[in-house]
């Protein structure tokens, strides 16, 4: 009798639970992506471009705060502002004047820095065509279920972005790189944000699906910087990223704000330039795309009450204990500056190399001249 009631109770619980499971399973897979990546690039060198580094670091800070780990962020800074000798407060990069917010922080990992930030390295990171010895932290190991956030800042113009004052990347190259990523299934959805002068020209040429792009200014307009700090002596941030940072500070990992709010960041009254965006290549409706789909990290947790039996550990064959063995050789430290040894050091036995082209050519010339002068019949006297 008791068993029957228990059975009945269980089946009732089960049916209720299964409906919840189906719902949550549906929610689990609705967004379509399983991991998040971010590629944040600052392309300017020199102290007066402090604000570009501050821009990139503030996006880095927001992205880390919302959950993307360092292993999934590729941060490229073309110059070092924090420990620059002109920085009156070393190891800091501020975004607000009066030094309110240090976006450099205490836990930062820069993957590409200094001279490593080049167009070639940037395109290689995006397309994944890196030399085999590149460490993991410098690679974008995304797959076809990754949502990638790409943020570029620096000096740009109509159709190009300047890298380090010595080379440019054009909007055609960027569009082709994204197409390569699409064909290699390296992203699920991509959000491209650019904060440069005439930034909208950079996303004009995109033609791959699932890309949403935002820019800080239209073609023909300049993006302006926000405010200088008189103690540091340079402008600290660009306007668009400043208001973007303010907007992102209100986002927390569980917030439901969507992309339409992001498009409203920094209207013309605050930014002086007109931010633009492009959503025609994006399949979903921007109103249904959460900010945390790109800026945060997917972390779905499923609780289970089941017990799992761990297998027994693999027993390794024990080595014989080495006590009492006297025949082990005695080690010793090397002499650091053995003067007598060095003075009498024999010259290294160089490997014998066959004579190279120059010597061979010279001897051939000498032989030819000799035989031409004296005739071929002298050969028999030699050989």
Partner 1 sequence: MAAHRCSYCSWLFILFSLSVFVIADIHETTAVSDHHVGVSDNTQTETADQPTVEERQWEATEVKEAAPDNVAADTQGTSAPETMVPSSVPQPKDDFQEELVIRPLHSGDIYASFQFRTLWDTDFMRDNKVSHYRLFPKSLGQVISKFSVRELHISFTQGYWRTMQWGQPFISSPPGAELWVWFQDSVTDVDATWKELTNVLSGIFCASLNFIDSTNTVQPSASFKPLGIGNETDHRFLRYATLPREIVCTENLTPWKKLLPCGSKAGLAVLLKSEKLFHSSFHSQAVHIRSVCQDRQCKTTSWELRQTLNSVFDLHTSGQGKREWSLFKMFSRTLTEACPLASSSKLYIDITDNSQGEQFELIPATSLLSQAVVLGDRRTFSVYDLTQETTFGSVRSLNLLIRWKSSDMLRPLLHAERYVAGYGLQTGEIHTLMYNNHPYRSFPVLLLDSVPWYLRLYIHTLSVTSKGKDNKPSYIHYEPSKDRVRPHLLEMLIQLPPNSVTEVTVQFERALLKWTEYPPDPNHGFYVGSSVISSLVPSTVAMDTNSTQERPLFSSFFPCKEESSYFVRIYTEPLLVNLPTPDFSMPYNVICLTCTVVAVGYGSLYNLLTRSFQIEEPNPGLAKRIANVIRKMRGVPPL
Nearer of residues 44 and 147 to partner 1, judged by Cβ: 44
CB of 267 to partner 1, least distance (A): 35
Question: How would you list the strands of the sheet with 146-153, edge to edge?
Answer: 112-113, 73-77, 35-42, 146-153, 189-195, 211-215, 276-278
Instruction: Give the range of 140-148, 274-282, 321-329, 358-366 binding partner 1 by CB under 8 A.
Output: 321-329
| 3-state SS, residue 102 | strand
46: alpha, beta or left? (left if phi > 0; alpha if psi -120 to 50): left
Per rule CB under 8 A, is residue 322 in the interface with partner 1?
yes
Instruction: Give the range of 86-94, 175-183, 201-209, 361-369 binding partner 1 by CB under 8 A.
Output: 86-94
Per rule CB under 8 A, is residue 12 in the interface with partner 1?
no
Contact assessment for residue 200 and residue 276, using Cβ atoms and an 8 Å cutoff: yes
Per rule CB under 8 A, is residue 83 in the interface with partner 1?
yes
Catalytic residues: 155, 197
CB of 382 to partner 1, least distance (A): 37
163: phi then psi, degrees, rounded to nearest 5: -105, 115
Instruction: Give the range of 101-109, 142-150, 207-215, 273-281 binding partner 1 by CB under 8 A.
Output: 101-109
Contact assessment for residue 171 and residue 204, using Cβ atoms and an 8 Å cutoff: yes
Exposed/middle/buried for residue 278 (C-beta within 10 Å: 0-12, 13-18, 19+)? middle
Out of 65, 97, 113, 205, point to the residue binding partner 1 (CB under 8 A).
113
Contact assessment for residue 213 and residue 158, using Cβ atoms and an 8 Å cutoff: no
Distances in Å between the Cα of 261 and the Cα atoms of 31, 151, 212, 250, 257 are: 18, 18, 14, 12, 7
Contact assessment for residue 87 and residue 172, using Cβ atoms and an 8 Å cutoff: no
Distances in Å between the Cα of 156 and the Cα atoms of 57, 168, 196, 219, 235 are: 19, 9, 5, 11, 18
Contact assessment for residue 194 and residue 156, using Cβ atoms and an 8 Å cutoff: yes
Backbone CA torsion sign across 356, 358, 362, 367: positive
Per rule CB under 8 A, is residue 349 in the interface with partner 1?
no
Nearer of residues 83 and 360 to partner 1, judged by Cβ: 83
Instruction: Give the range of 191-199, 225-233, 279-287, 319-327 binding partner 1 by CB under 8 A.
Output: 319-327
Per rule CB under 8 A, is residue 338 in the interface with partner 1?
yes
CB of 3 to partner 1, least distance (A): 7
According to CB under 8 A, which residues from 126 to 145 bind partner 1? 131, 133-138
What tokens appear for 311 in the block?
């297998």
Per rule CB under 8 A, is residue 303 in the interface with partner 1?
no
Nearer of residues 103 and 213 to partner 1, judged by Cβ: 103
Per rule CB under 8 A, is residue 166 in the interface with partner 1?
yes
Out of 1, 14, 256, 351, point to the residue binding partner 1 (CB under 8 A).
14
CB of 306 to partner 1, least distance (A): 8
Per rule CB under 8 A, is residue 313 in the interface with partner 1?
yes
CB of 100 to partner 1, least distance (A): 15
Name residue 161's beta-bridge partners: 156, 169
- Residue numbers of the site for partner 1 (CB under 8 A)? 3, 6-7, 10, 14, 18, 21-22, 45-46, 80, 82-83, 89-92, 104-111, 113-116, 131, 133-138, 164-166, 312-313, 315-316, 318-319, 321-324, 328-339, 342-343, 345, 348
């Amino acid at each position: 009798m008791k068993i029957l009631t228990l059975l009945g109770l269980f089946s009732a619980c089960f049916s209720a639970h299964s409906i919840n499971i189906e719902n949550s399973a549906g929610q689990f897979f609705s967004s379509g992506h399983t991991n998040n990546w971010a590629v944040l690039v600052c392309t300017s060198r020199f102290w007066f471009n402090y604000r570009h580094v501050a821009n990139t670091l503030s996006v880095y800070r927001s992205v880390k705060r919302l959950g993307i780990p360092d292993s999934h962020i590729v941060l490229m800074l073309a110059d070092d502002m924090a420990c620059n000798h002109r920085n009156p407060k070393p190891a800091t990069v501020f975004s607000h004047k009066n030094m309110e917010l240090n976006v450099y922080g205490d836990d930062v990992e820069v993957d590409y820095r200094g001279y490593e930030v080049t167009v070639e390295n940037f395109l290689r990171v995006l397309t994944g065509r890196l030399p085999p010895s590149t460490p993991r932290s410098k690679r974008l190991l995304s797959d076809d279920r990754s949502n990638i956030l790409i943020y570029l800042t620096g000096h740009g113009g109509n159709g190009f972005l300047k890298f380090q004052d010595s080379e440019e990347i054009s909007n055609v190259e960027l569009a082709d790189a994204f197409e390569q990523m699409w064909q290699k299934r390296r992203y699920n959805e991509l959000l491209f944000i650019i904060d440069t002068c005439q930034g909208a020209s950079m996303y004009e040429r995109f033609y791959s699906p699932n890309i949403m792009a935002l820019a800080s200014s239209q073609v023909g307009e300049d993006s302006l910087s926000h405010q200088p700090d008189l103690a540091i002596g340079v402008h600290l941030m660009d306007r668009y990223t400043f208001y973007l940072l303010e907007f992102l500070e209100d986002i927390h990992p569980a917030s439901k704000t969507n992309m339409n709010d992001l498009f409203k960041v920094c209207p013309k009254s605050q930014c002086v330039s007109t931010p633009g965006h492009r959503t025609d290549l994006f399949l979903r409706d921007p109103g249904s795309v959460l900010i945390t789909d790109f800026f945060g990290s997917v972390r779905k947790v499923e609780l289970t009450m089941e017990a799992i039996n761990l297998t027994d550990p693999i027993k390794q064959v024990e080595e014989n204990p080495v006590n009492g063995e006297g025949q082990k050789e005695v080690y010793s430290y090397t002499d650091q500056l053995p003067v007598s040894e060095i003075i009498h050091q024999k010259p290294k036995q160089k490997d014998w190399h066959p004579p190279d082209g120059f010597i061979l050519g010279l001897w051939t010339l000498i032989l030819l001249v000799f035989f031409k002068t004296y005739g071929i019949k002298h050969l028999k006297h030699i050989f």
